[in-house]
Amino acid sequence: MGNLFLMLFIISIITGIIRPKEVIRWVNKNSSNRKSVLKYCGLSTLIFFILVGVTAPKTQNTTTQSQIDDSKTEAKADTKVEDNLNEENKKTTDTSNVDAIELTSANSTEDIFAGYRLIEVDGGNLSGHREPNVVVDIGFGDRKYYAFTNEYGQLVKVIAKEIILQDASTEAVNSNGRYYADEAKVPGVESKNLDEGHVIADSLGGVSNAYNITPQNSTLNRHGDQAYLEKVIRDAGGCTDFVAVITYPDTTTQIPSHYSYTYTINGNVINDEFDNVNPDEYNANLESNTSSNNSTYSNNKASGTTSDNSNNEISNTQSSTNNSEIVYWTPKGKSYHTTKSCPTLSRSKTILEGTIQQSGKNDPCDKCH
């Protein structure tokens, strides 16, 4: 619109200079001259610029406001885009962390299982057969207990990061506190002196297939070291870093000769080792041998034929007595023990302590002395 007015204004000036009467017809003819044309054109110019001055800021404000609104819209859009990018980056980072954790876990598992084939066996499978060089999860439910066999199908190792006790309130157990009615028939359990011994007991969350069962001496399993270590773990509410290593006298039998258990309770590492024998018979033979040796020693002393070593033993015993050495004994035992942790005392309910003279026993234990 301003351009149109400007064009008309220029045409009026040119026409007024040439023919003033054609432009300013509203005045008398005597006043219609070039001077009047310039006067009216000057006035019109002034009015024009005033109008331009009044209207121009409004247009500028409108433009500026529009630009501000556009800037705000763009800023919001940029912020939204940035937020979306941050969210995507966060998700990517989180996913990367999860992937890293899963990868690490997978690698750890692969390291543990290296050289073994992972197979699944039902916890209640009664077959006594084991596959060679395999690893089997023998934990009931979601527990992760892993059993390993060697190339001869012998169960040689069981590991568990954490032993989780049986929970009869949430798990299906029978009246005997067992998950299954029977145990796997591993060759050797047919002997009347051998039980289907769990490496990890039902009470500790272990299943009953052949990968958790070994033919174990009945007394050892029910009342001996095996039963004792299971009770220790139960009383502690579980344990961590559980490792059982099982050895055999040869490569043809499934009856172990020795067990070694290592586990951690309240930060204390415990190691239990014992042979697959009747502990009562073992202790009886041990005490019998000790008594026999002491009897021979007494006869030699009476006949004056004690050796230098025997004399040294006498001297050491007398020295220990004189120094009030603390020893340990049981009321019915024939020997005294220099350490309370002696394996022959592990199943004794009453253990006394004092000097050798107070014990009234002259025979040192061959196991710990």
Averages of pLDDT over each 10 residues, the chain, 369 residues: 66 65 58 63 71 59 55 57 53 40 47 92 97 98 97 98 96 93 96 97 98 97 95 97 98 98 97 95 79 61 52 46 70 82 76 84 75
Distance CA 149, CA 132 (A): 6
Could you tell me the CA-to-CA distances from 126 to 182, 194, 212, 231, 244 in Å, in that order?
Answer: 7, 16, 11, 26, 22
Upper half-sphere CA count for residue 228 (Cβ side, 13 Å) = 18
165 class by beta-carbon count within 10 Å (0-12 exposed, 13-18 middle, 19+ buried): middle
Which amino acid, residue 322?
Answer: N
* pLDDT, position 367: 67
**Structure tokens given for 122:** 């039902």
Distance CA 22, CA 32 (A): 9
**Structure tokens given for 106:** 């997978």
Distance CA 144, CA 202 (A): 14
* pLDDT, position 191: 95
Closest CA to 263 of 200, 176, 312: 200
Q: Where are the alpha helices (DSSP H) in the chain?
A: 2-18, 20-23, 34-112, 218-222, 225-235, 279-303, 308-322, 356-359
Could you tell me the CA-to-CA distances from 151 to 130, 154, 155, 202 in Å, in that order?
Answer: 10, 7, 10, 27
* pLDDT, position 19: 63
- Calculate the CA 55 to chain-centre distance: 76
pTM: 0.53
Distance CA 131, CA 153 (A): 5
* pLDDT, position 59: 46
Q: What is the per-residue burial (b if ≥16 Cβ within 10 Å, else e) of 286-300?
A: bbeebeeebeebeee
Which amino acid, residue 70?
Answer: D
DSSP 317-368: HHHHHHTT-EEEE-TT-SEEBS-TT-GGGTT-S--EEEEHHHHT--EE-TTT
Per-residue DSSP letter, 206: B
**Structure tokens given for 137:** 């999860």
Q: Hey, what's the torsion of the CAs at 320, 325, 326, 327, to 10 degrees?
A: -10
End-to-end Cα spacing for the chain: 121
* pLDDT, position 70: 61
Which amino acid, residue 16?
Answer: G
Closest CA to 167 of 228, 237, 264: 237
**Structure tokens given for 57:** 């800021």
